[in-house]
Amino acid sequence: MTPFALLYALHVLAATVWVGGMFFAWMVLRPAAVAMLQAPERLRLWTDVLRRFFVWVWVAVLVLPISGIGMWHMRFGALESAPRYVHIMAGLYLVMLALFLRIQLLQLPSLKRAVEAEQWPAGGAVLGQIRRLVGINLILGLLVVALASARPLF
């Protein structure tokens, strides 16, 4: 396996874990949790799910720029010689990172506090905010995957 192939494989796996995890949470787990669980159980479930998933998101957040910049230098030599779509992907990564950090550092602690205090309406409100940001991140992640797959000529 060439060094580029290794970086590419790590990059694709990291993106798959992050974007695929968000897709599963949004499209599969959330509807099932709403249908099957009352608010207290649902909020406890999401607190634990997010804690476990975010460990893997942190891995992706670290692997993506390392592998991406490595591939960027191997393939294009210099940052400015890369096609525009590569720059767009890097910019979208930064937006996704900012949204993830907002959830991880600001909203998840609020959700945990609400669940521990059994303040279910407050927890539900925070979970709704997290859900919206995850939805935005999912759309951005799918856009990045589509962009990487299409490799447009701009």
Write the pLDDT tens digit of every residue in 56-85: 999 999 999 999 999 999 999 988 899 999
Q: Where are the alpha helices (DSSP H) in 38-119?
A: 39-76, 84-102, 108-116
The pLDDT tens digits of the residues spanning 27-54 come to: 999 999 999 999 999 999 999 999 999 9
pLDDT band at 153 (very low <50, low <70, confident <90, very high): confident
Whose tokens are 């925070």? That residue is: 126
Domain that holds residue 88: 3-150
The pLDDT tens digits of the residues spanning 101-146 come to: 999 999 999 999 999 999 999 999 999 999 999 999 999 999 999 9
Q: How many domains does the chain have?
A: 1
pLDDT over 80 at 154, yes or no? no
Are the C-beta atoms of residues 152 and 22 closer than 8 Å to each other? no
**CB crowding 111-142: b at 16 or more within 10 Å, else e:** bbebbeeeebebbbebbeebeebbeebbebbe
pTM here is: 0.94
Provide the token pair at 60. Answer: 């992706």
Contact partners, residue 80, CB within 8 Å, separation at least 6: none
